[in-house]
Structure formats: structure tokens, C-alpha cells
Chain A
Amino acid sequence: MTALLSYGFMQNAFIVSLFISVLCPCIGVFLVLRRYSMIGDTLSHASLAGVTIGLMLNQNPVLGAFIFTSICGALIEFLRRYFKKHTDLILAVVLALSVGTAITIISSGKLHANADSFMFGSILTVTGLDMIMVIVLSVISVLALILLYHQMLYIAYDEEAAKVAGVKTRLINYIFSILVASAVSVSIRIVGVLVLSSMIALPVATALQLEKGFKQTLIFSIVFSMIDIMSGLFISYYLNVAPGGFTALVSVAVLVIVIAVKKTLSAVKAKTLA
């Protein structure tokens, strides 16, 4: 592994993965507990549209993804007021806008680079500029999460109580949309659009199996996320497969193992008590 890390491209991929493994579960825990996991999926598709716009305009694709995904995140929040009774339609609208934009641009042949690596994730294509973007976005996002921790926790747990306590729920929801956009944009290089939502949801789903309080669930989500992403990154290199897909498989395997251990331990406990 030390030899592997002597490669410049692998160092970039490792640093980016480290930031992703912290940021994704931090955002994911709020998305999952608000039952908004599918927003992560919709916004990952929005990020593809942002990547294609960035590549078409000869700009940094991660920056393009961040801007377009932020707009889509804010649009979801805005439309929530107009589709109160059919909130599932909002995701269909934003998905149509995003995928429509991406496919139109890709099929127009006006892209100045290949967008495929963003679909499946790639270790080789992480540039120095991408890495700086990822570090800046991640640090700002984690700081915002620390500052807004109690507000976001309460909006997820009991939004009405948060309102009574004077929390500006609409403003926080808009900020949260931008944080989700940030997590999505920093992750697409390595993980890829297609399995990105699993990186946001699966470590949290695994941590929830431990039945701990919120802070411990968040910490375990980060631990599982690091296990998933780092093992996905290194093993996919040796298997010569896309890191995104393999990381998703690892995260499902870790979830299954944790559920199996939990069930076995409760069966043993029940037997001891009987």
C-alpha cells in the first residue's frame, strides 16, 4: 500500500477519498433521517449536468457540478412549497431537467473532454485543481455543519419544535441544499454519478444498526464510510475496476456483515437469558 501511495495520482485520489469519507456521511445522516435519500440520487444526476456544462465551457467540471447542483438543490427546496401534496414530483422535475441537460450536451458533441469518468468514478483523473476544489468545499461544508449542528438536528427530528424555538427552518434548508450539492460535487470524481447516493446513504444505514444516539451514529457513519471508501479505492486499483462501483459493493457487504453480527449477538443473548 505504501508503494501504491508513492504514485502522484494515487496520493490525489487518497486525499480526495479521505475528504469524501468524512463529508458524505455528515450530509447523509441528515438526508437519511429526513427520509430524503432520493434527493442525493437526484442531485448526483444534477451534478452530471453541471460536469457537462463545465466541460463544454472549458471550466473546471467540479466547479460546474457544484454550481449546477446547488441551483438544483435550491430549486428542490423552492418547489417544495408549490408541490406540497405531491413532493415526489419535485424530484421527477429536477431529474428531468438534469438528465435532459446532460444528455443534450453530451449528444451535441460540444464537450471538450470525456464525461464518462464522472459516470463511474476514476482514480486516475483527479487533478491538482480538483483536489484543491474538493478540500476547500469539504472544509467549508464541515465547518457549516458544525455551526448549524443543533439546528439541522432539530429540523430533521422535529421541524415544528425547531420553528417554535425560533430556528429559521427555510433558510437552514436552503443552506443544507447547498451542502448536499457540495458533498455530491466533491465525490463524483472518485465515486461517480451512478453510485454516489449509496455513498451518502449506506454508511448511515450501517451505523443505524448499532442503535446509538445521534452523535455516536454520526461518528460510526464516518468510520464505516472510511472503511467503505478506502477499501473500495485500494482494492479496485488491484482489480483494475472502477472505484465507484466497487466501493458501493464494499458498503453493501459491510452493511450485511453488521446486520449479521447484530442478529447473531442478539440470538446468543436470548439463548443465554433463556
Chain B
Amino acid sequence: MIKAENLSFSYSGSPPYILSEINLEIVDGEYVSVVGENGCGKSTLMKLILRFLKPTHGSIETYSKRIGYVPQKSDSDNSGFPITVYEMLNSYRRLLKIKDKSIVGKSLRQVGLSDYSESLMGNLSGGQAQKALIARALMGSPDLLILDEPSAGVDLESQTEIYALLKKLNTENGITIVSVEHNLDAAVSNSTSIYHLAGGHGHICTPQQYAEEYLSSKGKGDSLA
């Protein structure tokens, strides 16, 4: 479970705050998409959940013991780094102190990348790289999976596969998912709840409520995409 109470944050430690008076509760088993305009603090909220940042005011607690994290692709797009898919996963296995070496192969099979274990990460397509990062996040058998724009820079076919996989992980494996989303169609169709951030404030709503809110603000002729 994740619980934020009166959470405010600014990088300078003083106003104006990127996030202001945030109150949020995510219970186990939910699939929450965090949406909002660029620069509204979505990724900052993820970093607060992951404890990379400390709140300026208020509090945020993450009660999950095993957290899997899939960073925004631009953050991890270290394409010149000489590392194979196997090395990336196997080293992470060592960091997680998992003795069972076969978990690397299992994670790759789970995301459909078994044939790419010896490929360099920098030579993978956007979709393959994202799947490899999801495989890494799954290695620790997480109860909470945090993703930052999982479909950014990914082709449509891979997007469909990634969202189907996330849905399966949520519904069949019971993994709580919190995902920053710019793909509003995916957010509405996959999530159990949507957290909408705007102007530093946020509110939680059902996917249907969000779709209605969005369409009424943009005009009925528009689509979510």
C-alpha cells in the first residue's frame, strides 16, 4: 500500500511546490495510472514513492517490501553502454541476492525476449528494451511495480504487448501497478483507478470518470489518444 498525506514537494525546498497538499492512498492489487500535462510532477511523485526524494512537507509511505521499477526510457536510454541483456539481468539478480540463476531465463520468457539474451541493450528496439527493463523489474517477484511512461518510444505492436502483459501481471499475479501514463487510451482501458495531476494538485477517479472529464474539457469530437 502507498499512502501520501498532505504531501508537498519542491526541488528547492521552498514554494512554489511542484506537488502541493497531495493526499493519495493506493491499496494492494490496484492498477493506478498517473496522468497529467508535461511537467506537472508525475515522475517526481514516482521518485517520492521510490524514496529517491524526500517530501518537503507532509509524508509518503510505501509499505510494499518488494518493489520493481521500470524507469522512463529517456532516463535509462544508455544506448552506448556495453551491456548485454543477460548481463543486465544477471547483475541485477546478484544485487537482489537471488541465488537461482534460472530466474534470468524465466523473466526473459515472461516478456518474450528469450532469443535476445546475448544482444546488446543498445541494439534492441524501443519495445524490446522496455520489455527487458520490465523483465528486470519482475526478477525480484515484486508486489509493487512502478513504471514511468512504459510506452514512450515504443512501436504500436509492442505497446499492445506491454499493456497486455501489465494487465496480466495485475489481474493474474496480483501485482499492484502504479504507472505514469501519457497513453490515455491505455490508462483508461487498463487501470482500476486514475490519479490526475494538474497545477500541483491531484485527484483520484475511475477510468470512466476520467474519460468523461477529459472529453468534456477537450470537446466531444476528440478521442483520448
Please report A residues at the B interface, Cβ cutoff 8 Å: 33, 149-151, 153-154, 156-158, 160-167, 208, 211-217
Do residues A157 and B120 form an inter-chain contact, with CB atoms below 8 A?
no
Interface of chain A, helix or strand or loop or mixed?
Answer: helix
For B50, give its contact among A162, A164, A166 (CB under 8 Å): A164
Do residues A150 and B69 form an inter-chain contact, with CB atoms below 8 A?
no
Given A158-B76, A161-B71, A213-B120, CB of A167 within 8 Å of CB of B82: no
Do residues B120 and A161 form an inter-chain contact, with CB atoms below 8 A?
no
Q: How long is the Cα–Cα vector from A217 to B78 in the complex, in angstroms?
A: 16
Please report B residues at the A interface, Cβ cutoff 8 Å: 50, 52, 67-69, 71, 75-76, 78, 80-84, 86-88, 91-92, 94-96, 118, 120, 136, 140
Sample 29 A-B pairs with CB under 8 A, ordered by A number.
A149-B91, A151-B95, A153-B83, A153-B87, A153-B91, A154-B91, A156-B81, A157-B78, A158-B76, A158-B78, A160-B52, A160-B69, A160-B75, A161-B92, A164-B50, A164-B67, A164-B69, A165-B95, A165-B140, A166-B95, A166-B96, A167-B95, A211-B82, A211-B120, A213-B120, A214-B81, A214-B83, A216-B82, A217-B82
For B71, give its contact among A160, A216, A217 (CB under 8 Å): A160
Do residues B87 and A214 form an inter-chain contact, with CB atoms below 8 A?
yes
Q: How long is the Cα–Cα vector from A166 to B96 in the complex, in angstroms?
A: 8
Task: List chain A residues, Cβ under 8 A from B92.
Answer: 154, 161, 165
- Of chain B, the residue at the smallest CB distance from A85 is B11
Do residues A213 and B52 form an inter-chain contact, with CB atoms below 8 A?
no
For A33, give its contact among B50, B68, B81, B95 (CB under 8 Å): B81
- Of chain B, the residue at the smallest CB distance from A164 is B69
Query: Taking each of B83, B87, B136, which has the highest tally of chain A beta carbons within 10 Å of its own beta carbon?
Result: B83
Q: How long is the Cα–Cα vector from A50 to B78 in the complex, in angstroms?
A: 36
Query: Taking each of A149, A150, A165, A212, which has the highest tally of chain B beta carbons within 10 Å of its own beta carbon?
Result: A165
Task: List chain A residues, Cβ under 8 A from B88.
Answer: 157
- Of chain B, the residue at the smallest CB distance from A152 is B91
**B23 smallest CB distance to A (angstroms):** 25
